[in-house]
Structure 1
Amino acid sequence: MKKVEIYDPAMCCSTGVCGPVVDPDLTRIASAVYSLEKKGFTIARYNLTSDPGAFVENEIVNQVLVEKGPEALPVVLVDGEIVKVAAYPTNEELAEWFDTTPADLQEKPRVRVSVNFGK
């Protein structure tokens, strides 16, 4: 089974899908990662803000940052090899790497919200 690692640029939260203006590409990749994890595939995201150690510990990613700077993020590795720099994988690429279909990558996390009006 393939292992995919996505090294994200600095973001305010683990997914990057927060704040007043949300990048649709971040929403898409967050849904794809969620769907793949739920199906048991090995995929990980590292955020430069919350997990800088992952960027230092991975020699390949560290070298990209030294040579190209943070503009090179996101960096995507498949089985330890760089497959994309400065761009997120498409759903088609993810589906190919994990031998699934792009339609299988569109599940969105369901979160139950309760509202308490002071009662």
Structure 2
Amino acid sequence: MPKIRIYDPAMCCATGVCGPSVDPELTRVATAIFLLEKKNVDISRYNLGSEPQAFIDEAKIQEVLNTQGTDALPAAIVDGELKVEGRYPTNEEFAQWANISVSELTKSETKSKGIELL
């Protein structure tokens, strides 16, 4: 099972899905992570504003932050390898890393299986 780590820029809350104007990209990522967790995928998400120690503990994130600054965030590390920087992974990338079908990360698939999303 892969180990997926997402490193977010500083946000107002853990998912960034809050406030009067929600970014649909953050909603997509939060949904994908939720569904991957339900499939017992080892995935964690860290917010620079509230969990800076996670950024300090990961040498590859330290390196990218030292060379590119916070513009390199969000970033994703899979099994210790930096896979994505400066953007969130696509659902296709999440599915590939977790070895599942991308259809398992779409709202239509979750509705048909009776999973209620926040």
Question: Above 0.5 in TM-score?
Answer: yes
Distance (Å, rounded) in 1 between the aligned partners of 2:6 and 2:45? 5
Mapping of residues 60-99 of structure 1, within 5 Å: 60-99=60-99
Distance (Å, rounded) in 2 between the aligned partners of 1:51 and 1:105? 26
Distance (Å, rounded) in 1 between the aligned partners of 2:100 and 2:117? 22
> 4+ runs of 1 displaced by more than 2 Å?
106-111
Extract unaligned runs of 5+ from structure 2.
none
Distance (Å, rounded) in 1 between the aligned partners of 2:116 and 2:48? 23
Mapping of residues 47-62 of structure 1, within 5 Å: 47-62=47-62
Change (3 A) 1:97 1:55: same
1:11 partner SS: coil
Change (3 A) 1:29 1:110: closer
Q: How many residues align?
A: 111
Distance (Å, rounded) in 2 between the aligned partners of 1:52 and 1:93? 25
Distance (Å, rounded) in 2 between the aligned partners of 1:71 and 1:13? 19
1:43 partner SS: strand
Give 1:104's aligned amino acid.
E
Equivalent residues of 2:9, 2:73 under 8 A apart: yes
Give 2:95's aligned amino acid.
A
Give 2:29's aligned amino acid.
I
The structure with the largest alpha-carbon Rg is 1
Give 2:31's aligned amino acid.
S
1:69 partner SS: helix
Task: Give the match for residue 17 of structure 1.
Answer: 17
Q: TM-score, normalised by structure 2?
A: 0.88
Shift of 1:110: 4.4
Shift of 1:5: 0.4
Q: Which has the higher helix share?
A: 2
Distance (Å, rounded) in 2 between the aligned partners of 1:37 and 1:22? 22
| Root-mean-square deviation (Å) | 1.4
Equivalent residues of 1:34, 1:109 under 8 A apart: no
